[in-house]
C-alpha cells in the first residue's frame, strides 16, 4: 500500500486525513508538534506511525527527514497552518505576528517540501500537496480584511507554484488545495462543511493529480481556482 505523510495531524483537517487514509489501508506517517498524549490521534486504528514535527523548526524537520531514512513517501500533505490574529484594524496590524504566520504557512511548507523531496522521489506516486485557502486567491479577494492570513496563503501558492517547476525533473507533482470552509477549531462550528466532506473531496482531487497538472490550485470539490 502507498504511504502518506501528514503535518498537523493531531486535530482538525489533518486528523481526518489520518483517519481516511488509514481506513483506506494506506501506511500513514502522522506528524504533530506534541506527539505525546495525542488524544484523538492515538484512537485512530490502522498502520499509523506518529512522529514529532514542529513545522516551524528546521532542526525538527531535518531530524525527521533523517530518521525516516530511505522510506518512500507517495503523498506528502503540508496541512499544518495558523490563522494568526483576527478582527484587527489595519492601523493596528501586529507585524511580528504577521511574520509568525508567514513562517508557519509559507516558509514551513517549502522547508518540508525540500527536506522530503528525496523521500517523494523514491515513491511511486510522488505527490506534494499543500493545504492552502481560497482566501489566498488574489482574484477572489473583493472584501479585504484578514490581510495577514490571506497574504500567507497567496504567498504559499506562489512558492509552491515555483517549487512545482523546480521539482518537475524529479517527476514530483505539486498541488495547492482549498479544503472548503470547514468545521474545525480554525473554521469554527458555523463553517459550511464537515471535515469528512472536506477530506473525502480533497482525497479525490489528490488521486487525480498527475504531472500534466502540476502547479495547480484546486478546490476540494474538484474545480480549479483562480490565482
Ligand atoms: N478550517 C477551514 O475552514 C480552513 C479553510 C481554508 C484553509 N484551511 C487550512 O487547512 C489547514 C488545517 O486547518 P484546520 O482547520 O484543521 O486548523 P486547526 O483545527 O486550527 O488545526 C491546525 C493544525 O495545524 C497544526 N500546527 C500549527 N502550527 C504548527 C506547527 N508549528 N507545527 C506543527 N503543527 C502545527 C496544529 O497543531 P497544534 O494542535 O499543535 O496547534 C493543528 O494540528 C491549515 O493550513 C488551514 O490554513 C482551513
List, for residues 115-173, the tens digit of each pLDDT value: 999 999 999 999 999 999 999 999 999 998 999 999 999 999 999 999 999 999 999 99
Ligand 1, atom 6: nearest CA belongs to which residue?
A: 133
pLDDT at 35 > cutoff 90? no
Domain count, the chain: 1
Residue 210 lies in a domain: yes
Judge whether 78 lies within some domain.
yes
* pLDDT recorded at residue 87: 87
34 in Cβ contact with 66 (< 8 Å): no
Residue 36 pLDDT greater than 80, yes or no: no
Of 8, 102, 182, best ligand 1 pocket probe by most atoms within 8 Å of the beta carbon: 8
Q: How far is the CA of 10 from the centre of ligand 1 (A)?
A: 9
Q: Which residues line ligand 1 (CB under 6 A)?
A: 7-8, 10-14, 32-34, 54-56, 79-82, 104, 131, 133, 178-179, 181-182, 184-187, 191
Domain that holds residue 159: 3-219
Q: What is the pTM of this model?
A: 0.98
Q: Is residue 227 one of the residues assigned to a domain?
A: no
Index of the ligand 1 atom closest to the CA of residue 78? 45
**Ligand 1 mutation target, pool 50, 60, 81, 192, most atoms within 8 A of CB:** 81
Is position 206 within any domain? yes
Amino acid at each position: 500500500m502507498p504511504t502518506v505523510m501528514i503535518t498537523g495531524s493531531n486535530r482538525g483537517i489533518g486528523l481526518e486525513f489520518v483517519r481516511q487514509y488509514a481506513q483506506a489501508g494506506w501506511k500513514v506517517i502522522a506528524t504533530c508538534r506534541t506527539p505525546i498524549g495525542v488524544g484523538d490521534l492515538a484512537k485512530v486504528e490502522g498502520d499509523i506511525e506518529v512522529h514529532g514535527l514542529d513545522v516551524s523548526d528546521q532542526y525538527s524537520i531535518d531530524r525527521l527527514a533523517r530518521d525516516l531514512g530511505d522510506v518512500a513517501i507517495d503523498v506528502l500533505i503540508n496541512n499544518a497552518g495558523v490563522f494568526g490574529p483576527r478582527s484587527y484594524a489595519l492601523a493596528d496590524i501586529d507585524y511580528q505576528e504577521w511574520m509568525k504566520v508567514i513562517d508557519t504557512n509559507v516558509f514551513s511548507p517549502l522547508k518540508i517540501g525540500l527536506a522530503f523531496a528525496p523521500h517523494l522521489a523514491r515513491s511511486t506516486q510522488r505527490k506534494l500537496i499543500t493545504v492552502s485557502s481560497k482566501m489566498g486567491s488574489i482574484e477572489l479577494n473583493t472584501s479585504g480584511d484578514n490581510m495577514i492570513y490571506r497574504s500567507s496563503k497567496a504567498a504559499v501558492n506562489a512558492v509552491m507554484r515555483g517549487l512545482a517547476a523546480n521539482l518537475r525533473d524529479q517527476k514530483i507533482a505539486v498541488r495547492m488545495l482549498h479544503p472548503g470552509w470547514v468545521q474545525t477549531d480554525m473554521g469554527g462550528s458555523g463553517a459550511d462543511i464537515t471535515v469528512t466532506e472536506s477530506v473525502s473531496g480533497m482525497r479525490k482531487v489528490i488521486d487525480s493529480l498527475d504531472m500534466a497538472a502540476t502547479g495547480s490550485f484546486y478546490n476540494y470539490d474538484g474545480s480549479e481556482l483562480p490565482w
